Structure formats: C-alpha cells, structure tokens
Amino acid sequence: MNTDNTGNEDGNGWIYSERVKKHFFNPQNLLKEDPETYKADGVGYVGSPACGDMMKMWIKVDPITDTIKECKWRTFGCASAIASTSVLSEMVTENGGMELDKAMQLRPQDIVEKLAGLPDRKIHCSVLGDKALRAAINDYFRKSKQEHRIIKDKATVVCSCLNVTDHEIEEAVLEGKNSYEKIQEHTKAGTACGSCKPRIEKLIKQYKLQYFGD
C-alpha cells in the first residue's frame, strides 16, 4: 500500500493511502447545486455542529430497478470524512447503481477497505457517510410509502444511572476510547453504581472487533 504523511492540526503526521488523498483532493459527487432546488428522492443528515462533524446526503432512486442512480453529499469534516463519503458515493452509484437493500447493509469496514485503509483514530469518519446514506434511504422509503422497509437504529440504555446508551459507547470506541476506564472518563458510564461494567466491557470488545478487527 502506498502511503504518505499528511499533517494534522497538532503537528503529528497521519499515514493516508494514495486513494484517500485522491478522494480528498478530488472528491466525487459533491453537491454543487443549490440544495433547495436539487430534486432528491431521499435526504439524510447526521452529526452535530457541537462536535464539528456533520454530513448531509441526497439520493435519487430508480424505482424500477430499486437502485441508487445518483448520490450527492456535503460535509463539515476532516480529510478522512471527505474521502470516505466520496468513495461511498462512487460505491453506491457504479455499475448502474447499488440496490437499496444492499446499500443499507454497507459497513464502515467496506468503505475503509475501498480506501485501502484509514488510521484507527479516523475510522469513525467512515461512519458519517454510512449513517447519512441509511438516513437518506429511510427518507426515500417514507416518501415512497414503503415504511415497512425502514430500518431503525434504536439506542439501548446501558448505564441506567446516567442514561448512557450503546450508541454513545459505540461512538466513544470509534473515537479511540477503547477501554472501560476511557469509556468511564468520556461518557461517565459506570461511575455510579457500576453494575453496568460487564455490559460495557462486552460492548467495547464487540465494537473493537467490528471496526478494528481486534
């Protein structure tokens, strides 16, 4: 794998693949039109201005073939977020477009593999496009009266004392909080009665295996 050092804001270099650099400097399918006039069949939005990572995605669907014929996006994010979403937009529109059911099953690992890898601390960036795509497809299902096809990603409370969910723990692991102590520090989960510790440790192990193969 060809790599280069790309500097970040704290002066430390990250090792990015040539494919990441290609999609960062020349992002594909970026929405350049006015979002208000762009006629999309489904729109998905994830992220928060508070954390700085935001992603919006627009899709057009061929109702005959049930495939994505166009995928546009905009993001406020880093090089990894831009490259991840750029390559994702190619993945779902190439060869005539990906079937919606298959697109709903795409995983962050699929995007990372297509990019020839990402630094561990940037894996969470690939989740932005992944989640925005599912949100856009679900929006299309709602608009086209196919509510039975909507897949909801429901959160489960793990730490009832402090109301911390499995989604919050997942996001923390993606950001590099990969131990029980780091999860406690980041989310405060398990800092009250501590009865949720076994469940938290199990989730940490699950998410590390899912996203990093550890």
Say if residues 41 and 61 touch (Cβ distance below 8 Å): yes
Which residue out of 71, 78, 125, 196 is catalytically annotated? 125
Q: At what angle do helices 166-174 and 123-143 cross, to 10 degrees?
A: 140
Q: How many CA atoms lie within 13 A of 182 on its CB side?
A: 12
Non-local (6+) Cβ contacts of 127 within 8 A are 108, 174
Is residue 51 part of the annotated active site? The answer reads yes
Using a 10 angstrom Cβ sphere, with 0-12 exposed, 13-18 middle and 19 or more buried, the burial of residue 103 is buried
Is residue 125 part of the annotated active site? The answer reads yes
Beta pairing class for 157-159 and 67-76: unpaired
| Token reading at 140 | 């299309």
Using a 10 angstrom Cβ sphere, with 0-12 exposed, 13-18 middle and 19 or more buried, the burial of residue 126 is buried
Query: What distance separates the 2 farthest-apart alpha carbons in the chain?
Result: 54
Active site residues: 51, 125
